[in-house]
Amino acid sequence: MTSNNEAPDTELGEVPDDRVTYLWDFFGPNAVQTALHFDRHLVEFLTKNGLTGCETGTESSGEGHAAAFCTTPPDACAAVERALRPRRRR
């Protein structure tokens, strides 16, 4: 029996991950290079605006596709959405 004070199915000390990942997709023969280039601009934007706790990178779902991504804590979401207009989020 669990008390009402305990969160079900969580380990002691576990912190829920409430970060959001934004993605910008690129297609075609230059998709990888374009995603890498965009990633550099993401890093510049985060640094210029003092947004900490963010992670950036690139990924691909197959030939002819690449995406740049930025995973942000909740306090950075508004700045990223407003200035960079991400195409997708997860």
Asked whether residue 8 carries a pLDDT value surpassing 70, the answer given is: no
pTM: 0.79
Q: What range does the domain containing 58 cover?
A: 20-89
Q: Is the pLDDT of residue 85 over 80?
A: yes
Does a structural domain hold residue 10? no
**71, part of any domain:** yes
CA 28 from centre of chain: 22
Q: Would residue 2 count as lying in a domain?
A: no
Q: Within its chain, how far is the Cα of 22 from the centroid?
A: 4
Distance CA(61)–CA(32), nearest Å, equals 11
Number of domains in the chain: 1
Structural domain includes residue 5: no
DSSP 30: T
Inside any domain, residue 80: yes
